[in-house]
A and B are shown apart, each in its own frame.
Chain A
Amino acid sequence: SQKIEQNSEALNIQEGKTATLTCNYTNYSPAYLQWYRQDPGRGPVFLLLIRENEKEKRKERLKVTFDTTLKQSLFHITASQPADSATYLCALGRGSTLGRLYFGRGTQLTVWP
């Protein structure tokens, strides 16, 4: 079965710095990878999707990279703000199983002023 590791449970950084979160996976290569944001007591919110044939994708202050050789995705938040504090989840999809997503446990990001 697919195993997904988000290599730190918690990440603390200072406001204005770039936060970098890591998602590693084993076994088969996904067709796409997604990143979600989850605030305490709430459902995850979709942020970005990157496909296996894409190296990088950007959205405002967010950047996602996808390295299928390393089996790794990096999620960057530039110019981080305290409002970015949340848990970030990565999820992998195979592209042929009607939306079956495999989620990591998440990394809790805290941005302090």
Chain B
Amino acid sequence: SQTIHQWPATLVQPVGSPLSLECTVEGTSNPNLYWYRQAAGRGLQLLFYSVGIGQISSEVPQNLSASRPQDRQFILSSKKLLLSDSGFYLCAWGLSEETQYFGPGTRLLVL
């Protein structure tokens, strides 16, 4: 069966510090991968999606970037965090254009 992992589960970082969140998927090949952010009281916002190694599409301009160095690995990064980057970050995978399966999420607090 397929599983998706995210780490860390919780992160507290100072403003201006770098960020690296990792997501890995097991039990499938060539999945579509997604990064979402869920801010308090707001819906899920798609940040990036990838259909293959090295292929990244950005949905909104922001202080973040994403990379896919391996088929089942998706990384979310920032060189300098802003207060507004705080939120709940979710990674998801899917094999078709339809159903997406979400990871457990990373709670990021920027102080």
Task: Give the B-binding residues of A (Cβ under 8 A).
Answer: 4, 32, 34, 41-46, 49, 89, 91, 93, 95-101, 103-106
- Chain A residue nearest in CB terms to B51: A98
- Chain A residue nearest in CB terms to B59: A100
In B95-111, the 8 Å CB interface with A consists of: 96-105, 107
Instruction: List residues of chain A with CB within 8 A of the CB of B107.
Output: 41
- Is residue B34 within 8 Å, beta carbon to beta carbon, of the partner chain? yes
A43 and B103 form a contact (CB under 8 A): yes
- Chain B residue nearest in CB terms to A106: B43
Beyond known contacts A4-B43, A43-B105, A106-B43: 5 more, CB 8 A cutoff = A93-B97, A99-B49, A99-B98, A99-B100, A101-B46
With an 8 Å Cβ cutoff, the count of chain B residues facing the other chain is 24
8 Å CB contact of B49 from A41, A46, A98, A106: A98
30 contacts between A and B (CB under 8 A): A32-B98, A34-B99, A41-B88, A41-B105, A42-B105, A43-B90, A43-B92, A43-B103, A43-B105, A44-B90, A45-B102, A46-B99, A46-B100, A46-B101, A49-B98, A89-B43, A93-B97, A97-B97, A98-B51, A98-B97, A99-B32, A99-B34, A99-B49, A99-B96, A99-B100, A100-B49, A103-B43, A103-B44, A104-B43, A106-B43
Task: Give the A-binding residues of B (Cβ under 8 A).
Answer: 32, 34, 41-44, 46, 49, 51, 88, 90, 92, 94, 96-105, 107
Instruction: List residues of chain B with CB within 8 A of the CB of A89.
Output: 43-44
The answer for the CA separation of A14 and B42 in the assembled complex, in Å, is: 27
